[in-house]
Amino acid sequence: MPSAGPRPGQRRRAGSHGGAVRYRRSDGAAAAPGRFLVTDIERRQVSAPVPAGWDYAPAPEARDVVTIEERYGLFVGGEFVEPRSGDWYTTISPASEEPLAEVAQAGEDDVGVAVAAAREAFENGWPALPPSERAKYLFRIARILQERSREFAVLESLNGGKPIKESRDVDLPLAAAHFFYYAGWADKLEYAFPNRRPRPIGVAGQIIPWNFPLLMLAWKIAPALACGNTVVLKPAETTPLTALLFCDVLRQAELPPGVVNIVTGDGRTGAALVEADVDKIAFTGSTEVGKAIQRRVAGSGKRLTLELGGKAANVIFDDCALDQAVEGIVNGIYFNQGHVCCAGSRLLVQESIYEDVVAKLKRRMGTLRVGDPLDKNTDVGAINSRAQLDRIRELVRAGEEEGAEVYQPPCRLPERGYWFAPTVFTNVAQSYRIAQEEIFGPVLSVLTFRTPDEAVEKANNTPYGLSAGIWTEKGSRILWMAERLRAGVIWANTYNRFDPASPFGGYKESGFGREGGRHGLEPYLEFE
């Protein structure tokens, strides 16, 4: 039998010589007696540093792809104007607390002027354009967003604190996809709603939150424009910069002036927009503010859609693919620091696999990299604001006081900025605040169940009803669960997947109305 030659790097004993061992060289020749030689490969191994772990070297995205102005006025009638209020505030980077720009705090008058500009654009031509012309503008916006996506992604991460890999791979592609998708509907509304003669409503006032600033803007503006409406949009006070950069895209696309107006400011600006002469309010934000808006709008004849908070159950059955499920759990709660309305913040695990799931989850949490949002390796970025960090801390304290067991993997948080380590609570009772209230941070509460009926009952035991996840290999069980879960969106064997063609929205205190898909056109249309 032919003998196998030496494998690379393998030392082969060639014989003894006077007590010293002789080794064959890598080219097969015998080494001089009494000398120790190693193969090339061995030599390389010896000189290479021994890896102590799997740490990544920093890989920061370049900041200079985006130019940030010192000051931004309000975008009204196609140009930036100084606020009549004369008020300004500073927007910062939550990762470093470094000031980024001065932004206008719009007052009632400013909102009135923006609404008047939108009204004029509505009455003077936007809805009268051939629908295929409207579509052209939307296609242009989509293409420009794609072309400038790096610039937008960097700005989104700078101003909001989310990891660049998320703004680059999720927020930007989805925002562009939304414009592409609704561009396609603009000249097909008659087909979308046959025999119903759809007509635009008029001026839409749109108010959005800070967790997906550009994406929420796209969810609001794209369907409104496709249906022939004009808009006044108010971004969240902590993340106005991508909405302001978007004004540049509108100019590049040569969108007629006044069709889109952007007013910045805090809740007072939002409240002024709700009171203004608009025909519809589209709001995404907290349930508390949503309820207040609903009260203000009642009896005014204004149309209203509310996309509010959530406390989703992510349900793990014992027949699921466990490692995939653990990835889904991590994606469900630690994506975007848990600042996600549909985050899988309540984990329901079947009792028989509880120990395994928790052990695997803790191990996986140890590999999450928390830090600089602009670093391409970062998994968990900065908390969006001091106020949000305080809220997360308060709820985590409440969880500990109520008796839940808290775990955080060892990780070093940056000294400046707003940070919170990925956290998991076990021994959680359904009545605890951490199992009932939306934390909107990287904090997971784990509960258990024995039977599918119990899983449904626990999953539905919250005032919210936005989303849910099911992990099982049985298709029949997925369907059985999906019929019973009171949630607007249900993912099976995946989590946090979005597509512009798929409607998104809630039940119960998660609001009403749908965004995305054909359903997302309806709130912007009247029918005969």
Spatial contact of 435 and 425, defined as CB atoms under 8 Å apart: no
C-alpha to C-alpha distance for 415 and 400, rounded to whole angstroms: 24
Structure tokens, 382? 């900065």
| Least spacing, CB of residue 42 vs ligand NAD, in Å | 56
| Least spacing, CB of residue 498 vs ligand NAD, in Å | 11
Judged by DSSP in three states, 72 sits in strand
Complex with ligand NAD: residue 272 or 357, whichever CB lies closer: 272
Complex with ligand NAD: residue 308 or 349, whichever CB lies closer: 308
Catalytic residues: 307, 341
| Least spacing, CB of residue 317 vs ligand NAD, in Å | 26
Structure tokens, 528? 């005969």
Q: Minimal CA–CA distance to 414: which of 372, 365, 367?
A: 372
Q: Single out the residue of 209, 223, 422, 469 in contact with ligand NAD (rule: CB under 6 A).
A: 209
By CB under 6 A, residue 332 contacts ligand NAD: no
Complex with ligand NAD: residue 61 or 522, whichever CB lies closer: 522
For 129, other C-beta atoms within 10 Å of its C-beta total 16
Window of 264-272, 350-358, 398-406, 490-498 that interacts with ligand NAD by CB under 6 A: 264-272
Complex with ligand NAD: residue 282 or 365, whichever CB lies closer: 282
Beta strands in 442-484 (DSSP E): 443-449, 467-471
| DSSP state for residue 276 in the 8-state scheme | S
Complex with ligand NAD: residue 373 or 441, whichever CB lies closer: 441
Q: Single out the residue of 266, 319, 327, 526 in contact with ligand NAD (rule: CB under 6 A).
A: 266
| Least spacing, CB of residue 469 vs ligand NAD, in Å | 16
C-alpha to C-alpha distance for 294 and 289, rounded to whole angstroms: 9
Q: Which residue is nearest to ligand NAD (CB)?
A: 270
C-alpha to C-alpha distance for 219 and 368, rounded to whole angstroms: 30
By CB under 6 A, residue 335 contacts ligand NAD: no
Q: Tell me the number of residues near ligand NAD by CB under 6 A.
A: 30
| Least spacing, CB of residue 261 vs ligand NAD, in Å | 15
Q: Single out the residue of 270, 338, 441, 442 in contact with ligand NAD (rule: CB under 6 A).
A: 270
Considering only residues 27 to 56 of the shown chain, the ones binding ligand NAD according to CB under 6 A are none
C-alpha to C-alpha distance for 73 and 424, rounded to whole angstroms: 42
For 116, other C-beta atoms within 10 Å of its C-beta total 18
Report the DSSP pairing between strands 303-307 and 511-512: antiparallel
Complex with ligand NAD: residue 328 or 465, whichever CB lies closer: 465
Window of 67-75, 221-229, 287-295, 402-410 that interacts with ligand NAD by CB under 6 A: 287-295
For 500, other C-beta atoms within 10 Å of its C-beta total 24
| DSSP state for residue 167 in the 8-state scheme | I
C-alpha to C-alpha distance for 495 and 163, rounded to whole angstroms: 18
Sheet with 467-471, edge to edge strand ranges: 405-407, 423-426, 443-449, 346-350, 313-316, 467-471, 489-492
Q: Single out the residue of 22, 134, 162, 234 in contact with ligand NAD (rule: CB under 6 A).
A: 234
Complex with ligand NAD: residue 229 or 239, whichever CB lies closer: 239
Window of 84-92, 145-153, 189-197, 307-315 that interacts with ligand NAD by CB under 6 A: 307-315
Q: Single out the residue of 170, 293, 424, 525 in contact with ligand NAD (rule: CB under 6 A).
A: 293
Complex with ligand NAD: residue 347 or 478, whichever CB lies closer: 347
Report the DSSP pairing between strands 443-449 and 423-426: parallel
C-alpha to C-alpha distance for 171 and 232, rounded to whole angstroms: 22
By CB under 6 A, residue 237 contacts ligand NAD: yes
Q: Single out the residue of 95, 103, 175, 274 in contact with ligand NAD (rule: CB under 6 A).
A: 274
Spatial contact of 110 and 78, defined as CB atoms under 8 Å apart: no
Considering only residues 4 to 23 of the shown chain, the ones binding ligand NAD according to CB under 6 A are none
H-helix or E-strand containing 492? strand 489-492
By CB under 6 A, residue 333 contacts ligand NAD: no
Window of 7-15, 265-273, 360-368, 411-419 that interacts with ligand NAD by CB under 6 A: 265-273
By CB under 6 A, residue 307 contacts ligand NAD: yes
| DSSP state for residue 522 in the 8-state scheme | G
Structure tokens, 64? 């200079």
232 phi, psi to nearest 5 deg = -120, 120
- The residues of the shown chain that bind ligand NAD, judged by CB under 6 A, are 207-211, 234, 236-237, 266-267, 270-271, 274, 284-286, 289, 292-293, 307-310, 341, 438, 440, 466, 506, 510-511
